[in-house]
Structure formats: C-alpha cells, structure tokens
Structure 1
Amino acid sequence: MTTVLIVDSDKDSRLALEAQLIASNQFEQVLSCPGLQTAEASIDAYEVKVMLVDAEQAGQSPLLQHIKANNPELGVVLLQGKTGVIDSATLLELGAHAQTSRLAAPMEIIVSVAKALVGRLKPGKRILEKFLKDGK
C-alpha cells in the first residue's frame, strides 16, 4: 500500500483531507504537514510515494522542484486553491502528475493519487521496446 503526504498551510483543510483519506482505508499511511520545509524530512522518513501539495504554496516556492530533484519517483498532486483549475503547462512546470480540489469527493482524490502513482512510473526499456514492436 501507499504512504501519502498532505502539504497544506491551512490547518482545517489539511486535517479534513487527512481524515477523509484515512477513512477511505485505501492507503497504508496518511501524513500531513503545514509546509514544504517539513515535507522533505517526512518523505525520506516514511517512504512517501505521493504528495498532495497546496498549489499556491507549490507555485510560490522553489522547494517543490528541489524535493522532486531529490525524489524523482515521488508522485505529486496539486490541490487547487482560489485560482481553480491549473493548466497542464503549469502542472508540468511544477513537476506534478495530477490535480484535485480540496472539496472533491474522497474517491476523486483517490483517483488523483492513483494517477500520480502511475505517472511517476517510467516503463522499463524492455517493456517499452516490446510495446513499440507489438504496435507496428
């Protein structure tokens, strides 16, 4: 199962999302912290596979790029804020694999986490060659 980390400076929002994900019983562990500074230590200590990050916080700090550079296998889901939907160019620029709303139903958030898990995987060379060969 997967360990998920929620990074959001809004304590009420963070704790509500954490409670929803724990109640879903889909993850081995659900952790949370208020900022990206704290997140890096948690990623290493708890073998976090996917991080849900407040989009505004992610866009205002180079820490997300630093974390992604040190943990390229980390899946990232941006939590939409007041700005609403994030365009795909911004997602790529921030190193994110998916986005979701803080107010989304738990199943929608789980789908975004799954998308990030799949997005962080890179197919092995043999698998990719077989796929391309079979596709001809």
Structure 2
Amino acid sequence: MIRAIRGATTVSNNDEREIIDETKQLLIEMIRQNDVNAEDVVSVLISMTDDLNATFPAKALRHLDGWTYVPVMCMREINVPQALPKCIRVMMTVHTKRAQQDIHHVYLRDAIQLRPDLQLTKKLDM
C-alpha cells in the first residue's frame, strides 16, 4: 500500500543552518513515528513559505544515513494571506502496511496549529 505522511515545522529566522536543522528534526520524527525505511520511500516533497529562501530544506534529507537515493523536491508554499509564517511542510510518500488512520503525521513548533485535530500532534520545545 502507498501512503503519504505529512509533517510541518517552523523556524524563527530565514537562516540556512536553522532551516536545515529544523527540517532534519522533522524528518527524523516522521521516520521514527512511522517506522520508515529509506528503501520504502517513493518520494519526498518539501515546501517553504515565501519568507524562507536561505537554502534548500532538502539538504536535511541528505544528512540522513541511507537516504542518498530517495527522490526529493523543494517548492514554494502558496502565499495565502494570514498563513503561518516561516513554515516548512513535508509530504513523504511511502510503501507501508499501515492503515491510513495508523499513519502518524508530525507537527512541530508553531506548526502544531495547522492540524490540532490530529491526536498525535505534539510540540517539541527546541
């Protein structure tokens, strides 16, 4: 079965190191909570809001052992008025035996407000 795992986080500044570090933390948590192996990943899409452009957040994936050959693409988020600023979103498409309701979507930092309806949403204080 192919399923998508969603995740999002925010950064405080348009800073290369912070963007990479926060994206890496989000990816690690998505992988951990869903028992994802790189070999089972179809692709990863990463978007950022217009106020972020210091680096490609996909660089964070390249820092993970075994993830060299996973296809990843960065893009801009739609610029909606009053949208959450400095936000990084991830859509990871994977092969899994998990039912849709058993997928753990991960929202960190200020991004927890994007999907408060998900029970497993949590805020990690960094």
TM-score where L is the length of structure 2: 0.31
RCO (CA 8 Å, sep 6+): is it higher in 1 or 2?
2
TM-score where L is the length of structure 1: 0.30
Larger Rg: 1
Would you tell me which structure has more strand in proportion to its own residues? 2
Would you tell me which structure has more helix in proportion to its own residues? 1
